[in-house]
Amino acid sequence: MSKEKRTFFVNTLHTLVTKVFIAGLKLALSVLTARILGVSGRGLFFLSTSLAGTTSTVGSISIGEGLTFLIAKGSLKRKEIFGTAAVLLVMFTSFLWLVIYALLPFLMDNILSELNADLVPFIFLLIPFLLIEYLFGQILKGLEKFKLLNYLSIFTRTLIILSLLIFVFTQPVNFSNFFKAYVFVLGAVAIIQTFILWYLSYFRIFLSIRALKEILRFGISVHLGIMMTEIEHRLDVFILAFFLSSSAIGIYSIAVVMAQLLWYSSNSLNSVLFPYLAGRLSDKIRNIKFTIKVTKLILLLNSFLILMLILFGEFIISTLYGQDFILAYSVFLFLSIGLLGESISRTLSVWIKSNLNPIVLSKVALVTLSVNIGLNFLLIPLYGIYGAAVASSASYLLRALLLMLIFKKNTGTNLLLFLKFKYEDFRSFIIFLKDPKNEN
C-alpha cells in the first residue's frame, strides 16, 4: 500500500474511532450537567452555550472552511497560518461582540429571561474561545494532521470533564458557579490550542493579506448555506425559549444529544472527505463513486444506530439522566425520522461544496430554513417540544431530497443507488478506503 493510500485509510479509521470516543465524552458532559443542574439548569446551560455557539458559527462567515481550503491547496504557507488566524480571530470576535451587545436587550427580555445578568459577560467570553476551537480544527484538517486533531480533541474534552468533576466535588455547586467554571476551562483549552497553532507555524507570526482576502472570499461563497443550516439546527431551541420555559429546553436538549450521537459517523468521514476532494478536483469520476459509497455506508450505519436507540433509548435516558428527563425519549422518536435524511445530506453537502458552486447549498438551505421557521412557529405553540422535533425532521428530509436531486442532475446518478445495499458495497468500500485510486 502506497503512502497516500495508507494515510487516507488510517486517517479515516482513526477519525471514526476518535469521534466515537469524543461522542462518549460529550454524552458524559450532558449527563453531568443534567444530574448536577437538574432539568431547568440543564436547559439554561444548553441555551447559553447554544447562543454562543450559534453566534460564533453564524457570524464567522465560514473563515475556517476558507483556511482548510487554502491550506489543503498549498496557498497558505505554514509560517503564515498563526498570524492570519489571529487577525481573523480578533476581527470576528470584535464584530460578534458588537452584534450580541446590540441584541442584548431583546435577548434578556425574551430568550435569556431566566438567566442572571451577571452571567452575560461569560457568554461573551465563550465566543472567542469557541472561535479558537473552530479555527484550530479547520487548520489541522487543512494540514491533514488528523491524528493530532483527534488526540487533542480527546485530551481537551477529557480535561473539561475532569475539571468540572473536580469543581463539583470541591466547590459549592449552583448554576452560576458551574457555568463560570465551564467557561474558565474552555479558556484554558483555548490557550493550549493557540500555543499549538503557534508551534505549527514555526513560532512565526506572519500575515498574508492575499490569503486573508481569499479566505474571506471563499468563506463568504460557502457561508450562506452553512449559516442557514446552522440556524435551522439551532433555531428551535431559541423559539422554545421564547414560548416555553428552560425546563422544556432541558428535556429537548437530551433528545438533541441523542440525535447528535448519530452525526459523528457522518462528521468523522466527512472531515477527511472534504480536504481529500478539495485536493483532487480533477478526479471527478472517482470522487462521485467515492461519495456514493460513503453516503450509503453512513446511511446504513445510522439506520442501525437509530434502531438501537429506538429499542433501548428509554432505558438509556432513565438510567443516565433520570426520570425527570424521560420525555426526551418520545421527542427523540420524532427527531429520528429526519435523522436518516441528515445522514445523506451531510456527505452530499461535502461533495457539492468541493465540486460545484457553493451557492447551490445556500439555495437549498434557504428553502429548508424557511420551512423550518414556518413549522416551528406553527407547531411549537400547539405541541411544544414535540412540535419542534417534527419541524426539524421535516426540514431534514426536505434537504436530503433536494441535495439528492442536485447530485443526480450533475452526475446522472440513479437515486435508487443510495437505497440499494448489497454485500459487494461493503467489500468495495473497504477496498476503496485502502486504495483511493481503485475506481471499481
Distance, CA of 318 to chain centre: 26
Q: Is 226 among the domain residues?
A: yes
Count structural domains, the chain: 1
Q: Is 440 among the domain residues?
A: no
Q: Is 347 among the domain residues?
A: yes
Q: Is 42 among the domain residues?
A: yes
- In sign, the C-alpha dihedral spanning 262, 72, 208, 223 is negative
Supply the angle between the helices 209-243 and 385-411 in degrees, to the nearest 10.
140
Q: Is 36 among the domain residues?
A: yes
Joined together, the cell numbers standing for residue 54 give: 450559534
Q: Is 245 among the domain residues?
A: yes
Q: Is 439 among the domain residues?
A: no
Q: What is the chain's pLDDT, residue by residue, as a tens digit (440 residues)?
A: 455 545 555 655 666 677 777 778 888 999 999 999 999 999 999 999 999 999 998 888 888 888 888 888 888 888 889 999 999 999 999 999 999 999 999 999 999 999 999 999 999 999 999 999 999 999 998 888 877 888 888 899 999 999 999 999 998 889 999 999 999 999 999 999 999 999 999 888 888 788 888 888 888 877 777 777 778 778 889 999 999 989 999 999 999 888 877 766 566 555 555 555 545 545 566 667 777 777 777 787 788 888 888 999 999 999 999 999 999 999 999 988 888 888 888 778 877 776 766 678 778 888 998 999 999 999 999 999 999 999 999 999 999 999 989 888 888 777 666 666 666 656 655 555 555 455 44
d(C-alpha 271, C-alpha 138), whole Å: 9
Domain region containing 397: 3-434
Q: Is 77 among the domain residues?
A: yes
d(C-alpha 129, C-alpha 292), whole Å: 36
